[in-house]
């Protein structure tokens, strides 16, 4: 029961911190906007990585042979 109480208390404290007019961070620094920013950064990095990988022709048989040799 203690872990549940701890999680509930922490979530409530963070909610009160973000909604209190005196201590609330600016809108661009709230948790939901920071999470959206991080997800968008991850998606763009992944899309860039995938677009680079899609254009190159990889000889999978050579890579498999190299992996077997090691």
Tell me which residue has tokens 């620094």: 29
Chain length of the chain: 70
| pTM of this structure | 0.54
Decide if pLDDT at 47 tops 90. Answer: no
Query: Which whole number is the average pLDDT over 8-36?
Result: 91
Q: Where are the domains of the chain?
A: 2-56
pLDDT greater than 90 at residue 50? no
Chain mean position to CA 46: 11
Residue holding tokens 């948790």?
Answer: 31
pLDDT for 60 equals: 79
Residue 27 near residue 33, CB atoms below 8 Å: yes
Residue 30, exposed/middle/buried by CB under 10 A (0-12, 13-18, 19+)? middle
């Amino acid at each position: 029961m203690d872990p549940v109480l701890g999680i509930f208390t922490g979530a409530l404290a963070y909610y009160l911190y973000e909604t209190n007019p005196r201590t609330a961070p600016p809108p661009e620094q709230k948790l939901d906007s920071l999470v959206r920013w991080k997800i968008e950064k991850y998606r763009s990095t992944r899309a860039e990585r995938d677009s680079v990988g899609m254009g190159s022709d990889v000889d999978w048989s050579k890579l498999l042979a190299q992996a077997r040799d090691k």
